[in-house]
Copies of this chain bind each other. A is one copy, B any other.
Amino acid sequence: MNKIEYNLDQTDHAILRLMQENARISNADIARELGMAPSAILERIKKLEQREVILQYRTKINPAALDQTLLSFIFIRAADGIGCATTGQALAAIPEVQEVHDIAGDDGYLVKVRTADSAALVELMRNSFAKIPSIISTRTTIVLETVKEEQQLVIPE
């Protein structure tokens, strides 16, 4: 497992800054902003996608519009061996599970789940979580209000 060199220059950073904010910006608009030809921008974007600097383009939908207003974080203790990540993969396969993080200490996972309400959360835990045999215990934390929720990275320059 080598460390990959990405070697992004200021132009790449500027493109990423614009696209991170608005994934549907046109190449022509980026080109105007940076004083370059649209074809040059297109070429760079394609390379950024190829080198997996850009991972995907996502539309953020209002959870309330789809009746998924309850957000919860669940700590999960699991009986995985070291380096064996089957529990994590089983959790990741559940669509209501948005995030699965392997965390330090307690041989555990931190999981982020979105459901309609607490009844749906209980049902999800009974139906999906209970079927993962390696889970030892869970501790659920309910979110009352989300103040900020972004995946925006800090881009230099």
Contact = CB atoms under 8 A, between A and B. Distances in A.
Contacts of A24: 23-24, 57
A99 to B, nearest CB: 5
Given A68-B153, A92-B148, A103 B59 contact: no
B68 A60 contact: no
A135 to B, nearest CB: 14
Given A54-B59, A85-B145, 12 more contacts: A22-B56, A53-B65, A54-B62, A55-B62, A56-B59, A61-B155, A66-B155, A73-B101, A99-B149, A104-B143, A110-B141, A110-B143
Interface string A124-157: 0000000000000000011111111111111110
Main secondary structure of the interface of A (DSSP, over half): mixed
Given A62-B53, A65-B53, A101 B23 contact: no
A150 B99 contact: yes
Interface residues of A, number: 64
